[in-house]
Amino acid sequence: MTIELNKFEIPVSDQAAIRGDLRYQAGSISERPLVIIAHGFKGFKDHSFFPYLGEKLAEDGFVTIVFNFSHNGIGSDSQEFDRLDLFKNNTFKREQDDLKILLDKIESRAITPSSVYRPNGIGLVGHSRGGVAVLTTGARDSRVRAVATLASLAHFPEFSKEDIDRWREEGVYYVENKRTGQMMPLGTELLEEMLSQPDMIENAAKNLNKPLLVIHGDSDETVPVAAANKLAAWAADSQLTIIKGAGHTFGAVHPFSGPTAELNEVVKELSRFFGKTL
């Protein structure tokens, strides 16, 4: 089976763009359901398991889009965080806006080849922080028919009063990227967003009027598995899959060295879920 790969770029400003990869089975002559896959914090479309996930779901008959949020810090070099100026200005709202722009382009069939996907049969997948974007978008966009989260947050991270005061005073808060050694800046717009909307994720899950699949590893070292239980409890139509022994990236590393049993279970669950809901 041959999977075709079409790259696309959607400018969102003079400086930033959404860059993505459209995958589909070669020789497809009919429109197929579309699954959009969103990365998380300090992630990108070519990181770790994301290309594999797009490839395997395409093999299962879906059209897939794996994309970079416009302010994720990755510029024209698809592997390096060379735009930390953009990363600093990223927010949850900006990621939601990016998804809306992407959905608008899909609806207008501006992403080619448009003949392979159904613009009204769309599923969203979000990993970690990307889970927030797909939940909030799914809760308010009728073009989305089903949502799945992988190791998603249920609450925003907590910061001490001292950290918040320093963040505001200095206008920036730094987090380390342990893989690259970079100190990555977060602007105050993100801080104020989290403080002003502490229940954003809970409200999105409760307002989600479509099927939700929550996948999480019981050994997640970044987001406790309790987050998955909360998301599943908040949503009216949810399915919960806890993968035994799986960590935050389901055993996958970067550079990608091949799938794990845990990651293949993720693929199986997503394919089953979207096969029924899309």
Q: What percent of the chain has pLDDT over 70?
A: 100
pTM of the model: 0.98
In CATH, what is the architecture of 3-156+198-277? 3-Layer(aba) Sandwich (3.40)
Model pLDDT, residue 28? 72
Q: How far apart are CA 76 and CA 268, in angstroms?
A: 32
Using one digit for the tens of pLDDT, what is the confidence trace for 138-173? Answer: 999 999 999 999 999 999 999 999 999 999 999 999
pLDDT at 120: 86
Give strand pairing partners of 32. Answer: 117
The residue ranges of every structural domain in the chain are: 3-156+198-277
Q: Are 72 and 45 in contact (CB under 8 A)?
A: no
Handedness of CA 60, 63, 42, 203 (dihedral sign): negative
Q: What is the pLDDT of residue 8?
A: 97
Cβ count near 17 (within 10 Å) = 18
DSSP state of 87: H
pLDDT in tens, 94-131: 999 999 999 999 999 999 999 999 998 899 999 999 99
Q: What tens digit of pLDDT does each residue of 249-262 get?
A: 999 999 999 999 99
